[in-house]
A and B are shown apart, each in its own frame.
Chain A
Amino acid sequence: METDWSKVMEVFATGIIGVFVVMILLQILTQLSTRVIDVVENLDKGEGSSPEPKSPTVPPKG
């Protein structure tokens, strides 16, 4: 049977390009989602910790 070389080249090229495109997009999504979670978790930590008590202001005497 005759080999369809145009199909071979199509499978070869779309395969390599396709894998890279999917993995790059996955990388971007992973970085994006981890950053968003980092920000949310840092905000949570900020809200969770009680504010530092302010030193009572004593009116100057005099």
Chain B
Amino acid sequence: MLDILKDLIFSSGAVSLTGGNLVMWLVAFVLFYLAIRKQYEPLLLLPIAFGILIVNLPLTFLMEPEHGLIWFFYHYGIEQDIIPPLIFLGLGAMIDFGPLIANPKTLLLGAGAQAGLYVTFFAAVLFGFDLQEAASIAIIGGADGPTTIFLTSKLAPHLLGATAVSAYAYMALVPIIQPPMMKLLTTEHERKIVMSKLRPVSKLQRICFPIVTAMAIMLMVPTAAPLISMLMLGNLFKESGVVERLSKAASNELMNVVTIFLGLSVGATMTAGTFLSPKVLFIFFLGLFAFVISTGAGLIMAKIMNLFLKNKINPLIGAAGVSAVPMAARCVHKVGSEANRRNYLLMHAMGPNVAGVIGTVVAAAILLKNLG
């Protein structure tokens, strides 16, 4: 009887627990708290936290190559580039490109914000990361989770957990991170600028936009094809109005299913051995740096554009050039309306916000082309 009990105890995972496992449990519980209590990006942080927890229970072998359940999700979903493009399909079916079509100049704001990303690339190299790792960290500044995962899984898969959690955490923290930067880089007078109403966009223009954009970007940067093709297909589903079932499936059922697999797989890459290193702390610091610099770059781009424009734009909308849709646009609207109660910037900020999604994909594709 004693032998059976002894055998049971020594074959259990409990005796194989390490200090690292316990620290990772703590990380998982912090993310549970942020997701459930604070509701910061709960759709992603909750499965990520659960993935971290279960992969740090010894002897479960969930990430054992060729055997573990979550390894199969990770291998076929992320390593084989299936999940991020499917997320983009759903995203495309939800995004309204109307404000961008009505004011195409805002595409430049989406480009401006990406400058911050390259500054961070430079900084990460100075901190001692290799070029592939630096690119994976820099893309966090784009504030786009699927693009971050897409690029990191190709260039530096060992950093996947840290960059993904960093990207989603900072996206959730947009209302805290962005306003101080907005107030620092704009004057009260600039924040008060009221923008004229956007022109109406016809149905045909909305239908043509995803087709023209997909063709143009894929011809110019073929490495952007997996993400941009799915994003534009999803949007075409939505705008065509003839495949409502597909549009709804892409934006609801499919999106929800792949989000579960994405969150679990990303969380499961965060074992104590890979996550608990000084490098990860630097990644979180540089991720924040990337996000702040990208916000600043978008604001400065808007101010530069104002030097040449007859009808001035409110430079706050430049901050929405990072892609965190729609939080960044909401944040711009809030800061703008605090400066001037007559200001309604939400729709104006949605233009650069969705331009930021396209810009981040283009930036990631160029990094992939140069370093992949």
| Residues of chain A at the chain B interface (Cβ within 8 Å) | 1, 3-4, 7-8, 10-12, 14-16, 18-27, 29-31, 33-34, 37-38, 40-41
Contacts and interface: CB of A to CB of B under 8 A. Distances in A.
A15 B111 contact: no
A15 B118 contact: yes
Interface string B120-144: 0110010000110001000000000
B363 A7 contact: no
Contact of A14 (B101, B125, B135, B370): B370
Contacts, number: 103
A34 B205 contact: yes
Contact of A19 (B100, B363, B370): B363
B187 interface: no
B202 A26 contact: no
B178 interface: no
Contact of B104 (A19, A20, A34): A34
Interface string B63-90: 0000000000000000000000000000
A40 to B, nearest CB: 8
A54 B173 CA distance: 66
Contacts of B366: 14-15, 18-19
Contacts of A33: 205, 208-209, 212
B324 to A, nearest CB: 18
A29 B135 contact: no
Contacts of A16: 114-115, 118
A22 B359 CA distance: 9
A23 B121 contact: no
B240 to A, nearest CB: 15
A23 B212 contact: no
A19 B111 contact: yes
Contact of A15 (B101, B125, B204, B363): B363
Interface string B337-369: 000000000000000000100110011001100
A21 to B, nearest CB: 8
Given A37-B204, A37-B208, A26 B121 contact: no
B217 interface: yes
Contacts of B221: 18, 22
Contact of B204 (A23, A25, A41): A41
Given A10-B370, A22-B362, A37-B204, A30 B122 contact: no
B131 A4 contact: yes
Given A26-B358, A34-B205, A37-B208, A11 B110 contact: no
Contacts of B202: 37-38, 41
Given A14-B370, A33-B212, A37-B204, 18 more contacts: A10-B370, A11-B118, A11-B121, A15-B121, A19-B115, A22-B217, A22-B220, A22-B362, A23-B107, A25-B220, A26-B358, A29-B216, A30-B100, A30-B104, A30-B107, A34-B205, A38-B202, A38-B205
B370 A23 contact: no
Shortest 9 CB-CB contacts between residues of A and residues of B? A23-B111, A30-B104, A27-B107, A18-B366, A27-B104, A19-B114, A15-B118, A23-B107, A11-B370
